[in-house]
Structure 1
Amino acid sequence: MEAGHAKPELRELIAARRTELELQAEKLSQQLQEVRDELEELTVAERVARRLAEQLHAETEREATPSRGTGQVAGRAVLLVPQRERGADEAVLPADYQRIMKVVRQADGPVMVKQVCDGLGISTERARAEAMRSQLNRLAERGWLRKLADGKFTTTL
């Protein structure tokens, strides 16, 4: 046996080492991409956490300093709509409710929720319309408006 044939040739050693290094480089590249992906996720998580903290702070500030016409119910600021008494002026209502009353008063007849939303420039999407319906019902329950059998509202003034 010749010594040259018993040992792998230099080219084979180089090729084997190259393959080994290429596999290692591919694994490292995948690990680097995983690290970058996780860093990106952490950046997004930090942004979300910061926004949530800012929103919580803003809500806490709002609840700590209720404006005229608001009160606290279950720890949250809510608008107070007083029961209407004879001779009571709409000026006792919070500004949002005064605007609703103005739209209803200026209408040619009884109004639907959608008409009030349109009159106030508010979206008529379901959530907004239901919130407006709630406000109109509250005004009706407290004697400021009258709710008709067909679900329309009119002033009692």
Structure 2
Amino acid sequence: MLDPELLERITARRAELDELEERPAKQLAEVRDERDELAVAERALERMSERPADERASAAPVPGQAGGHAVTLIPHRTSGVEGTALPPD
């Protein structure tokens, strides 16, 4: 006859080992996901840096609509864009 206490200890230890085995697998999956995200970000930055500067930042304000009202869109601040790119008061 098998000792029930011994079987319980074996089962508990097996459960602990199963949990320990799962941790590195989850961590590895998280690391791989983050590396994939970084690779996508890196490719996006490379594509953006390949575009000519005049294409990245339009110097002229662009008229637009927001909530049914006319608005002036202000270009993003980048190097080489001066205050003259802003619309007059």
Instruction: Please give the TM-score of this superposition, normalised by the length of structure 2.
Output: 0.62
Over 3 Å counting, the alpha-carbon distance change for 1:51 and 1:134 in structure 2 is closer
Larger Rg: 1
Give 5+ residue unaligned stretches, structure 2: none
Return the structure number with greater relative CO, CA threshold 8 A, min gap 6.
Answer: 2
Q: 1:142 aligns with which of 76, 79, 84?
A: 84
1:60-119 alpha-carbon deviations (Å, 9 max, x no partner)? 1321x214614xxxxxxx5263xxxxxxxxxxx4xxx4x2xx239x84xxxxxxx557xx
Over 3 Å counting, the alpha-carbon distance change for 1:143 and 1:18 in structure 2 is closer
Root-mean-square deviation over aligned CA pairs: 3.4
Q: Does 1:47 align with 2:47?
A: no
* Residue of structure 2 in register with 1:69 after alignment: 54
Give 5+ residue unaligned stretches, structure 1: 1-13, 71-77, 82-92, 108-114, 118-131, 148-157
* Residue of structure 2 in register with 1:8 after alignment: none
Instruction: Please give the TM-score of this superposition, normalised by the length of structure 1.
Output: 0.40
Residue 35 of structure 2 aligns to a residue whose secondary structure is helix
Residue 103 of structure 1 aligns to a residue whose secondary structure is strand
Alignment-mate amino acid for residue 57 of structure 2? L
User: Which aligned runs of 4 or more in structure 1 are off by greater than 6 angstroms?
Assistant: none
